[in-house]
Protein backbone atom coordinates (compact mmCIF):
# COMPACT_ATOMS: atom_id res chain seq x y z
CA UNK A 1 0.00 0.00 0.00
CA UNK A 2 1.34 3.42 -1.01
CA UNK A 3 0.27 6.54 0.85
CA UNK A 4 0.68 10.24 0.33
CA UNK A 5 -0.31 13.37 2.16
CA UNK A 6 -1.40 16.55 0.38
CA UNK A 7 -2.93 19.94 1.10
CA UNK A 8 -6.47 20.88 0.09
CA UNK A 9 -8.49 24.01 0.80
CA UNK A 10 -10.18 22.10 3.65
CA UNK A 11 -6.95 20.84 5.19
CA UNK A 12 -4.48 18.01 4.84
CA UNK A 13 -5.64 14.72 3.35
CA UNK A 14 -4.02 11.30 3.20
CA UNK A 15 -4.60 8.89 0.32
CA UNK A 16 -3.77 5.17 0.22
CA UNK A 17 -3.48 3.30 -3.07
CA UNK A 18 -2.98 -0.46 -3.40
CA UNK A 19 -0.46 -2.24 -5.64
CA UNK A 20 -2.98 -2.30 -8.51
CA UNK A 21 -3.52 1.47 -8.30
CA UNK A 22 -6.95 1.29 -6.66
CA UNK A 23 -7.85 3.99 -4.16
CA UNK A 24 -8.37 2.33 -0.78
CA UNK A 25 -8.59 5.34 1.50
CA UNK A 26 -8.88 9.11 1.32
CA UNK A 27 -9.29 10.95 4.59
CA UNK A 28 -8.79 14.33 6.16
CA UNK A 29 -5.83 14.08 8.52
CA UNK A 30 -7.76 15.69 11.35
CA UNK A 31 -10.90 13.71 10.66
CA UNK A 32 -10.04 10.04 11.12
CA UNK A 33 -7.81 8.23 13.58
CA UNK A 34 -6.50 5.69 11.05
CA UNK A 35 -4.69 8.17 8.79
CA UNK A 36 -0.93 8.51 8.94
CA UNK A 37 -0.05 12.19 9.28
CA UNK A 38 3.58 11.28 8.53
CA UNK A 39 2.75 9.96 5.05
CA UNK A 40 5.07 11.27 2.32
CA UNK A 41 4.01 14.28 0.26
CA UNK A 42 5.39 13.10 -3.07
CA UNK A 43 4.37 9.64 -4.14
CA UNK A 44 3.88 9.14 -7.89
CA UNK A 45 1.46 6.24 -7.25
CA UNK A 46 -0.94 8.75 -5.66
CA UNK A 47 -0.55 11.44 -8.33
CA UNK A 48 -3.90 10.70 -9.99
CA UNK A 49 -5.77 10.93 -6.69
CA UNK A 50 -4.10 14.22 -5.80
CA UNK A 51 -4.78 15.65 -9.28
CA UNK A 52 -8.48 14.73 -9.31
CA UNK A 53 -9.14 15.94 -5.75
CA UNK A 54 -7.42 19.26 -6.42
CA UNK A 55 -9.38 19.62 -9.68
CA UNK A 56 -12.56 19.07 -7.65
CA UNK A 57 -11.62 21.87 -5.25
CA UNK A 58 -10.68 24.13 -8.16
CA UNK A 59 -14.20 23.69 -9.56
CA UNK A 60 -12.87 21.83 -12.61
CA UNK A 61 -14.24 18.37 -11.75
CA UNK A 62 -17.71 17.19 -10.72
CA UNK A 63 -17.08 13.45 -10.94
CA UNK A 64 -14.10 11.18 -10.42
CA UNK A 65 -12.51 8.57 -12.66
CA UNK A 66 -10.39 6.87 -10.02
CA UNK A 67 -10.46 3.08 -9.59
CA UNK A 68 -11.86 2.39 -6.11
CA UNK A 69 -11.49 -0.64 -3.84
CA UNK A 70 -12.58 0.30 -0.32
CA UNK A 71 -12.44 -2.43 2.31
CA UNK A 72 -15.83 -3.19 3.84
CA UNK A 73 -18.68 -5.64 4.14
CA UNK A 74 -20.89 -6.44 1.16
CA UNK A 75 -23.59 -4.16 2.60
CA UNK A 76 -21.14 -1.29 3.17
CA UNK A 77 -19.82 -1.61 -0.36
CA UNK A 78 -23.39 -1.56 -1.72
CA UNK A 79 -24.06 1.64 0.24
CA UNK A 80 -20.80 3.22 -0.95
CA UNK A 81 -21.67 2.39 -4.58
CA UNK A 82 -25.06 4.08 -4.05
CA UNK A 83 -23.32 7.12 -2.55
CA UNK A 84 -20.98 7.31 -5.55
CA UNK A 85 -24.06 7.60 -7.78
CA UNK A 86 -25.32 10.78 -6.07
CA UNK A 87 -24.63 13.54 -8.62
CA UNK A 88 -22.52 16.56 -7.80
CA UNK A 89 -24.60 19.25 -6.13
CA UNK A 90 -27.43 16.89 -5.19
CA UNK A 91 -28.34 15.48 -1.80
CA UNK A 92 -30.06 12.36 -0.55
CA UNK A 93 -31.44 11.20 2.77
CA UNK A 94 -30.37 8.04 4.54
CA UNK A 95 -33.82 6.70 3.71
CA UNK A 96 -33.24 7.42 0.01
CA UNK A 97 -29.97 5.48 0.11
CA UNK A 98 -31.62 2.58 1.98
CA UNK A 99 -34.26 2.42 -0.78
CA UNK A 100 -31.53 2.54 -3.44
CA UNK A 101 -29.71 -0.48 -1.99
CA UNK A 102 -32.97 -2.43 -1.71
CA UNK A 103 -33.09 -2.36 2.09
CA UNK A 104 -35.68 0.31 2.97
CA UNK A 105 -35.80 -0.82 6.60
CA UNK A 106 -32.03 -0.47 7.05
CA UNK A 107 -31.82 3.31 7.49
CA UNK A 108 -29.64 3.08 10.61
CA UNK A 109 -27.35 0.54 8.96
CA UNK A 110 -27.02 2.88 5.98
CA UNK A 111 -26.06 5.64 8.42
CA UNK A 112 -23.40 3.40 9.95
CA UNK A 113 -22.03 2.45 6.51
CA UNK A 114 -22.04 6.10 5.49
CA UNK A 115 -20.05 6.94 8.62
CA UNK A 116 -17.56 4.15 7.88
CA UNK A 117 -16.86 5.42 4.35
CA UNK A 118 -13.06 5.24 3.92
CA UNK A 119 -12.91 7.40 0.77
CA UNK A 120 -14.01 10.96 1.53
CA UNK A 121 -15.21 13.28 -1.24
CA UNK A 122 -14.78 10.70 -4.04
CA UNK A 123 -17.46 8.55 -2.38
CA UNK A 124 -19.57 11.55 -1.43
CA UNK A 125 -20.95 10.66 1.99
CA UNK A 126 -21.17 14.41 2.64
CA UNK A 127 -24.18 14.50 0.27
CA UNK A 128 -26.33 12.48 2.68
CA UNK A 129 -28.57 14.37 5.08
CA UNK A 130 -31.28 13.58 7.59
CA UNK A 131 -34.75 12.97 6.19
CA UNK A 132 -35.75 16.51 7.21
CA UNK A 133 -32.72 17.96 5.43
CA UNK A 134 -30.74 18.41 8.64
CA UNK A 135 -26.99 18.26 8.64
CA UNK A 136 -25.88 15.03 10.27
CA UNK A 137 -22.48 13.66 11.25
CA UNK A 138 -19.35 13.84 9.15
CA UNK A 139 -16.03 12.28 10.15
CA UNK A 140 -14.12 15.45 9.30
CA UNK A 141 -16.60 17.65 11.15
CA UNK A 142 -19.86 19.37 10.29
CA UNK A 143 -18.22 22.67 9.22
CA UNK A 144 -16.39 20.80 6.44
CA UNK A 145 -19.58 19.00 5.43
CA UNK A 146 -21.49 22.30 5.28
CA UNK A 147 -18.67 23.87 3.23
CA UNK A 148 -18.65 20.95 0.75
CA UNK A 149 -22.42 21.09 0.32
CA UNK A 150 -22.36 24.86 -0.16
CA UNK A 151 -19.41 24.57 -2.57
CA UNK A 152 -21.24 22.00 -4.69
CA UNK A 153 -24.37 24.17 -4.68
CA UNK A 154 -22.40 27.15 -5.95
CA UNK A 155 -22.79 29.04 -2.68
CA UNK A 156 -19.09 28.94 -1.79
CA UNK A 157 -16.02 29.69 -3.80
CA UNK A 158 -12.39 29.63 -2.88
CA UNK A 159 -10.76 31.12 -0.88
CA UNK A 160 -12.05 29.02 1.92
CA UNK A 161 -14.24 30.37 4.69
CA UNK A 162 -15.50 27.82 7.18
Active site residues: 125
Q: How many CA atoms lie within 13 A of 77 on its CB side?
A: 8
- DSSP state letter for 24: E
| Size (the chain), residues | 162
Q: In a 10 Å sphere around its CB, with 0-12 CB exposed, 13-18 middle and 19+ buried, how is residue 154 labelled?
A: exposed
CB 24 within 8 A of CB 70: yes
Q: Under 8 Å CB-to-CB from 34, ≥6 apart: which residues?
A: 25, 27
Find the DSSP H helices in 31-141. Answer: 47-57, 74-84, 94-100, 107-115
Amino acid sequence: MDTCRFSTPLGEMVAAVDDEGNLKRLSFVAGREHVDPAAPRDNPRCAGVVREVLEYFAGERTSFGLPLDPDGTIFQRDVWRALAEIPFGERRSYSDVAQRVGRPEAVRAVGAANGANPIAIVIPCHRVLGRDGSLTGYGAGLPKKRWLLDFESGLRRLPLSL
